Amino acid sequence: MPISIEHALRDAALLLAEHQSPSPRIDASVLLCHVLDKPSSYLYTWSDKALSEQETKDFEALIERRKLGEPVAYIIGYRDFWSLRLNVEPSTLIPRPDTERLVELALERLPKREGTVLDLGTGTGAIALAIAAERPDIQVTGVDLRPEAVALAQRNQKENHITNAQFLQSSWFGAVPAQTFTMIVSNPPYIDPEDPHLSQGDVRFEPKTALIADDHGLADIRHICQHSPHYLDRDGWLLIEHGYDQGQAVRALFTEAGFSDVETLQDYAGQDRVTLGRSTH
C-alpha cells in the first residue's frame, strides 16, 4: 500500500530516534528530499502525496544507513557550508557550522586591499572556498596531505565556479611556495586520541587522521604556530579552530611563537572555538 510523504517522514523519524539519532526529523527530511530531488518546502506543501514503490524502497535504504550511524552528508554526498554546496567523501571531514565562525572572523580581519590567504588542512576546501567566494580580490591557496582531499577541493572549486583559489598536496608547509601571506587559517586535527567522543556519533565514520593529534590534541596546532611566522606578512593574521576546552593552551602556543593581539573567540554556542593572533615578524 502506498505511503504518503507525511507518514514516511514520521515513521523514519521514529525509527532514527530509537537509534539515538540526534536530529531524527531533520535527518529523515534531508534524506527524503535527496530521494525525491526536491527542496524541503516540497515535503510540507505536498505532505499527502504518495511515494512510489521505488521512492519508498530508496528512502528506506538510506534510513537504514543512517540508522547504523553513517553521517547524512556521506549518504547524500554533499553538505551546504556558508553559501556553497560542497561534495563530501569519507576521505575528508564533513564541514560543520562551527567552522563558519572561523570564516566569519577571517573575513572581518582581511584588509580591504588585495591579499593572499593560506588554508592548512583544507579537506573539502570549505574554508578556502568560502573566503575566496566572498573576496574575489584575494588569492587563496589550500593545502592537504591527502591527494584525494586535494582532488575533492578542486572539484568543489570547479562546481562552485570559484577562480581565485588553488589547491596543493602538502604536509602543512612542506610544499608551500616560498612566499608570505596576508593570513593563514586552519581547522587542524585537535582531538586527543583518547577522547571517548571518537567512538560516538558521526565522527566514528570520519577519517581519524583529520581528527586526532598527539600531545592531547595540540601537536599540529603547535607546529602551525611555530612555522606560521615565516609565512606571514608583518601584521598578518593566524586563525586556528580548536576544541572548546583548548583555548588557554592554544593562546599559550600563539604567545610562545611571538604573536601579538592573541585572543580566543567563541562559536555560535558560546564555546571557545577560534584563537587568533597577529604576526610581529
CATH 3.40.50.150-classified regions of the chain: 92-278
Q: Where are the alpha helices (DSSP H) in 140-218?
A: 147-159, 214-217
pLDDT score for 209: 60
Instruction: Spell out the alpha helix ranges (H) of the chain.
Output: 5-18, 24-36, 40-45, 53-67, 72-76, 97-109, 126-134, 147-159, 214-217, 219-227, 247-256
* Measured distance CA(55)–CA(53) in Å, rounded: 6
Return the CATH fold of 5-69. Answer: Helicase, Ruva Protein; domain 3 (1.10.8)
- CATH 3.20.20.140 matches 92-278: no
Distance CA 66, CA 69 (A): 5
| Comma-separated ranges of CATH 1.10.8.10 domains in the chain | 5-69
pLDDT band at 218 (very low <50, low <70, confident <90, very high): confident
β 181-186/232-241 pair status:
parallel
Check whether 229 has a pLDDT greater than 90.
yes
**Is there a contact between 98 and 122 (Cβ–Cβ < 8 Å)?**
no
pLDDT for 150 = 96
Is residue 195 over pLDDT 70? Answer: no
Dihedral-angle region of residue 261 (phi above 0 means left; psi in -120 to 50 means alpha; beta otherwise)? left
DSSP symbols for 2-35: --BHHHHHHHHHHHHHHTT-SSHHHHHHHHHHHH
Q: 0.85 exceeded by the pTM?
A: yes
The per-residue pLDDT for 22 is 81
